[in-house]
Structure 1
Amino acid sequence: MMNIVLLEPEMPANTGNIGRTCAATGTRLHLIEPLGFKLNEKALRRAGLDYWEKLDVTVYSDYQDFLDKNPKALNKLYFATTKAHRVYSDVAYEPDCYLMFGKESGGIPEELLIENEDRCIRIPMWGEIRSLNLSNSVSIVLYEALRQQGFEKMELEGELHRLQWKSRES
């Protein structure tokens, strides 16, 4: 199972959207405090729709608490940052790795990035754009990691309902 780690997320709508993505992919969500919102906040629930109840989510008091409770994460943790030298798609992700994203206003603290520079990844961007939206960034990197795992246990095909479509055309 993949893991998304949000370090001090600030915007409930982003976290709600990420929670919905995690629920849709069978991914665990780890939230490291302080949070810029309350977990029962309306904007969080609205963005996550009715999927929030299906989510495997854990909240930690700080980064050390996260590491203490997830000792395997230390060697399987990737840090998404605009400061990385390596593109996210150039990494071979483990099936149970942890993808960390920092808060919207400042990203992951520089000291963590320096300590883990070999596991820092970036999404390429054009021009002077500072960064992508947090929930979009999570989706991009998570789906690449899931693609590498063959989208294990995920629905790979949909079904068209041709009879309903034909009745609308009449």
Structure 2
Amino acid sequence: MAFKLNFNAAVFDGTNSSEVGVIVRNGLGEVMAGLSARGPAVANSEEAEALACRKAVEFAMDAGFINLVIEGDNAAVMKAITSSRLDGSRLGHIYDDIRTLAAGFRSCNFGCVKRSANVVAHSLARFANHIVDELVWLKESPPPALEALYLDASFLNDE
């Protein structure tokens, strides 16, 4: 059974600091793990999203997940990760790191989702602005994302 991992980055105006949010759910939509973490200063949102993806993959590996579907909402980042072409851009080494780490999973697929399908990870990324380092939740719903989780679950039930 594959778990679905959604990640997101937030960049706050004036500071260039980045924050990361990650949520891992099982096939029933139940929360298996969550992460809110401070990230480094970044030049732009693409760099923030690429670093957030790498952090998400590392987090999933450390938490012991082996079958994953990884989703982010930045189309350029997700395209770069799934591309087999050599990436000579400034962020190419980060994309290489992500692919190398992902090769350590039994199965791992990447996909791009609409922003509206990534609100839980986004709420965790925004929450990271209020913490010093990182917070991890295992097999419990992260309190900073409860409203987003509730809305997400009600949306899934409407389909």
TM-score category of the 2 structures, normalised to the smaller one? 0.3 to 0.5
The structure number with the bigger radius of gyration is: 1
Which structure: greater strand fraction? 2
Query: Which gives a bigger RCO, structure 1 or 2 (Cα 8 Å, sep 6+)?
Result: 2
Q: Return the TM-score normalized by structure 2.
A: 0.33
Q: Return the TM-score normalized by structure 1.
A: 0.32
